[in-house]
Amino acid sequence: MPLIEPSPDTGLTAEQAKALAEGGWDNRPVDSPTKSDKQIIRENLFTYFNLIFIVLATCLLFVGDFKDMTFLIVVAANSVIGIVQQIRSKRTIEQLSLLSASRVRTVRDGQIRELPVDQLVREDIVELTAGCQIPADGPVLSGSVQVNEALITGEADAISKAPGDTLLSGSFIISGKCRARMDAVGADSYAAKLTLAAKKDAGPGKSEMMRSLDRLIKFIGVVLIPLGGALFYTQFVTQGLGLRRSVVSTVAALIGMIPEGLFLLTSVALAVSVIRLARNRTLIHEMNAIETLARVDVLCVDKTGTVTSPQMEVRDIVPLDADAWTEQDIGDVISAFYKAMEPDNDTARALAERFPYDPGWTALSTVPFTSAIKWSAVTFDGHGTYVIGAPENILGPDVEALRARIRYFAEKGCRVMLLAQCDGAKEGCLHGLVLPMALLVLENPIRPGAPKVFDFFHEQGVAVKVISGDDPVTVSAVAAQAGIDGAGDWIDAKELKTDQDIARAIQHYTVFGRVVPNQKRKIVRALQAAGHTVAMTGDGVNDVLALKDADCGIAMASGADAACQVAQLVLLDSDFAAMPKVVAEGRRVINNIQRASALYLVKNILSFFLAIITLFASFPYPFIPIQLTLISGLTIGIPSFFLALEPNHDLVHGKFLHNVFRRAFPGGLTAIFVILFAELFVFALDMPLTELSSICVTLMAINGLMVIYYAARPLDWKRCALIITMACGVLGAILFLGDLFSLSSLSFVGTLVLIVLALLVVPIQMSLEQLFDRCSAFLNIRREKVRKRRSTRRAFREGR
């Protein structure tokens, strides 16, 4: 389609835009943020383990054992539940994404209208202001802006863009206002090409938990086939059990080694977590964020918009030379200032609203505000140059003359700006004599729920760091009003010249003032380097880099578009009081997945070691598939899903697999001990193999109930009811459904063996739990000592 080259004032017509969209020249993302329904169905049905289950069922079909194929019902139920929950989660994310979709001011038919970013077409004229993320590539047509391209180039310095300069998608506007033509949209944009290149190099990063599960599944998948072949050979050729018995035992052993519900449990728990967070008006951009929330031990917050409400209010105007400039003169300057310059931040908007009239001055040039220089300036025809910004940045060392007045307001939690006159301003520099005219005192009210929120984090062991561009005295006063622990420990970020300075400061200070955007990023990185899991909340352009680098970035929906786009979580109501629920949800789901996963691995540990023992001993495998279905259902499947949805707000420590195996090994080893003793008794007393199966199933059920008990602690009435219900279910199946599960009645000797071994289950498992607790405590002490030694060495090197 030929180029249209629309006017910046009129833009495309509706007909032109429709034709371009139909021709495929729209700005749809190169890849959907969520999977399609077909992808979800395919990924749940066509899995490696489902293939193994089909092959095992075919083997049972071949030998005519139909009853033991009931495990296919569980496999089918797992797949259906996984599909339904993941599709529900997908629908929830899509609905919330529509509510929070980024919109851009677009010129169509000579009128400005707000359109979703994905509805832009090639050559659309867009109007961009501070906080906007650039939706596509194209030249600036009018106006001028300062752009940060750090998200796509890694360069954090502000770049000025004037008419003719090209804007790159993915970067964001720091200050200024312009109209630009979007010439490269969709897959043709710079950001889209980077995304496609990144997808070719590597897939999206997975969380530590999902990586651990992948490694576990791969290990099981590798050992399953050769171990199954060797086990069949041993039982069929060496032990001479016959084809049917050998096939059934081998299938049972392999089913026992497959954690068939573990992946389902994880995906369903995460999907339910997404839905719960959605009910709290929280949008998740990355599923990894749920696990990260559970591990967060440091929360970095910006003052404005997080601790305080985003709306600024002018509290006072303090003239500094009443003889030279009256209050009317000061009002005329401020009103003219923000008629000439777009009020593109909260401070500017508050001042513009306080002085809304127009004195009719003509602006000759402007210098927009940036977080780096912390001031903006306007030169007027016949009136001179005026500057508004941070007193320290405008006056430099001369600010000491005003220090007492500034501190008076700062200690009350107010933001203090300076209005001054100078000889000229250009490219971030003030020229000539700078004459202070007035202090502009503004304030943000503390968010009503902020003190309770910070009390929650203090109780949960989460350290809070306040990082702000304001005067540290002001930030400290606000932090104290909000009840932040350690609010009096503050530092001026201007003193932090090197990365080593920042690394030392994070160990001693809670409040960081006069921080520039790149320092926010360095503070987050320093905390991560010190071994912390860091969450960052913010709503402004100056928070974008830190939000991107944090382990979990949390943005307020009312803030800058760029902040919402880079964050992993978006609070749609922009209510910081929702944070305790968000963090608690992350902890609940990950703690419960770890707790419930241990139930699955007990069976896998038992089956794996029993299969190895069977290869080298003359013992037959004691279970058949339908018996494992009984044990899995009542001591693993049903309890795990109940436990996965229980409240659990403890901070998550350590690696996922280490935590899960720590919980699973005592139960797994207990099961191995008692079942080996059962096999020894059966062979020593020449008891029939049918009694061996019955004894082993009962022992496995008792051991499973003990594992549920340890996993469910601390007990409440619901968890006690769960254990009692599962125990009744096991007892009922053994007593009344023995024929269905191939359980035979026991002789007097068999009954004695069962009673003796059943009485051993509890003391063996309790002893192993205590042993593992002591080992874990010892290892934790050793790790803490190593960590302290490393910290001491690092501090010594930095001190030198």
On whether the CB atoms of residues 298 and 462 are closer than 8 A, the answer is yes
C-alpha–C-alpha distance, residues 32 and 169, integer Å: 17
Closest of 519, 467, 701 to residue 606, by C-alpha:
701
**Minimal CA–CA distance to 584: which of 303, 276, 301, 211?**
276
**CA dist 506 → 174, 232, 485, 510, 528 (Å):** 27, 60, 14, 7, 11
Q: Name the token pair of 445.
A: 């009210």
C-beta separation of 21 from 110 below 8 A = no
Instruction: Give dist(CA 347, CA 354) in Å, integer.
Output: 11
Amino acid in the structure at residue 285: H
For residue 718 the two structure tokens come to: 């619901």
183's tokens: 């010439």
In this structure, are residues 666 and 710 in contact, taking their beta carbons and an 8 Å threshold? yes
250/69 Cα distance (integer angstroms) = 13
Cross-strand pairs, 416:
441
The rounded distance, in Å, linking the Cα atoms of 738 and 731 is 10
How would you classify residue 191: left for phi > 0, otherwise alpha for psi between -120 and 50, otherwise beta? Answer: alpha
Instruction: Give the strand pairing for 552-556 and 569-571.
Output: parallel
- Tally of CB atoms within 10 A around 530: 15
Give the containing element (helix H, strand E) for 50.
helix 48-62
φ/ψ region of 69 (left if φ > 0, alpha if ψ in -120 to 50, else beta) reads alpha
Active-site option among 124, 302, 543, 551: 302
> Which residue spans within 505-562 are E strands per DSSP?
511-513, 534-538, 552-556
What secondary structure does DSSP assign to 386-405, as a single string? Answer: EEEE-HHHHHGGGGGGGHHH
End-to-end CA distance of the chain: 65
Radius of gyration of the chain (CA): 33
302 is catalytic: yes
Local structure of 177: helix, strand or coil: strand
CA distance 90 to 271: 8
Is the separation of the CB atoms in 89 and 275 below 8 Å?
Answer: yes
For residue 456 the two structure tokens come to 């929650």
Active site residues: 302
